[in-house]
A = this chain, B = another copy of it.
Amino acid sequence: MNLDTLSLLPQAHIGMSLSDVPTPALLLDLEAFEHNLALASILAAAHGVDLRPHAKAHKCAEIARRQIEAGAKGVCCQKLGEAFALAREGIEDIHLSNEIASARSAMLAAQLAKHVNLSICVDHPQSVCQLATALRAVGSNLRVLVEVDIGQRRCGVRTVSEMLRLVDSICADTTMTFIGIQAYHGGVQHVEDWEERREAAEEATASAYEFFAALDRRGARGLTVTGGGTGSIEFDVASGVFTEIQAGSYILMDRQYGDLEWREFQPRHALHISSTIMSTPSAQRIICDAGLKSLTVEAGLPVPRSIDSDLKFEQWDYVLANDEHGMLEYNPKNNVNDMPQWGDQLRLIPGHVDPTINLYDEYVCHRGDRVLDKWRIDARGRSW
């Protein structure tokens, strides 16, 4: 075998056993994935709201296709580069749930709008001007939403009058169609206690309603109110305010969302990082091969899971991530005596799904121990 052949070897082959896939790899459990896929579709349909899952987490056209097939209206992207990557793979209805702030990006958005059904957010008058100039130059049209700030203090206009001024400038331009507002509050998503999360979601929704009501009073009808997320999905669908739900992480889940208190809506962990024990310095400390380049830790360390009924890793905590190493320490909370050995594999539930997936080129999709598919992460690295 020559070096070129060797270098281009795929990590995983369809049909192989998961234990033969070189670690670390990004594993997608198809059974849990399908459970989560159905769960959100059923919930949205039951409440008569549109589902527009966020693709910023999964960055994968195959997942977007399956979400649309299961009833989603389209997807959200957070970056223009992501939208291009998914559009190229045939995703036709994309909402860019974010602002862009350069003439060059406005030109790209205008060009993309010639090919797909694109909508975009604005929160600044200059953005409206830039988009109008670009749309006129390219000869395309764009659906536009005003992002409103409902408590996150990040993007979005802060007052009704700011919103109305933007709406007026959008409506005054023939290249753009004003279709509604975007209202998202990231802080609500991770409130662990279910009741407290419900209260936080209600407060955010009440704020969104104020913006909506001002438009309603001006006679605007059929407006889109888009927002919501995985943590607040149960409240968002029933709010009577949101017409479209942008939840994204539910489809794969992570430690952070797994730590929430869930009631009716119960998504499962569909995403794991496979890892191998590569050094065994002591009986209390072992080293695995998955560090900061295989998972991100800004939202907490990953949780080790044993494979199948093997309980070897139930006594171990992942305590430190170096660039290419993970340190696991013994935590004798359980009475399990089957100690991990050099060369053993484990699975890790990552702390935060979005930036972790952005480290990989593909999902290794499996049922049980069998690799059944590989899905390309089309928008990986598309941060522009």
24 A-B contact pairs sorted by A residue (CB < 8 Å): A2-B115, A3-B87, A3-B112, A4-B88, A6-B108, A6-B112, A11-B384, A22-B81, A22-B105, A22-B384, A25-B384, A56-B324, A153-B285, A154-B281, A154-B322, A156-B281, A158-B281, A290-B383, A292-B298, A292-B355, A296-B296, A323-B354, A323-B355, A360-B381
CA distance A240 to B295 in the complex (A): 38
- Interface residues of A, dominant DSSP: loop
- A293 near B: Cβ within 8 Å? yes
Task: Say whether A24 faces chain B, with CB atoms less than 8 Å apart.
Answer: yes
A280 at the interface (CB under 8 A from B): yes
318-348 of chain A: CB within 8 A of chain B: 321-325, 327, 342-343
Tell yes or no: A266 within 8 A of B by CB.
no
Complex Cα distance, B293 from A354, in Å, reads 8
Interface residues of A (CB under 8 A from B): 1-4, 6-7, 9, 11, 20, 22-25, 56, 78-81, 84-85, 87-88, 98-102, 104-105, 108, 111-112, 115-116, 123-124, 126-127, 149, 153-156, 158, 186, 276-281, 285, 287, 289-290, 292-294, 296-298, 321-325, 327, 342-343, 352, 354-355, 358-361, 380-381, 383-384
Determine whether the beta carbon of B87 is less than 8 Å from that of A342. Answer: no
Q: Nearest Cβ in chain B — how far from A58, in angstroms?
A: 13
In the complex formed, the residue of B with least CB distance to A7 is B88
A323, B78: Cβ atoms closer than 8 Å? yes
Chain B residues positioned under 8 Å from A79 (CB to CB) = 324
Name the one of B6, B25, B279, B352 contacting A154, with C-beta atoms under 8 angstroms.
B279
A126–B323 CB distance below 8 A:
no
Contact: B279 with A124, CB < 8 Å? yes
A296 to B291, CA, bound (A): 13
Interchain CA distance A198-B383 in the complex, whole Å = 40
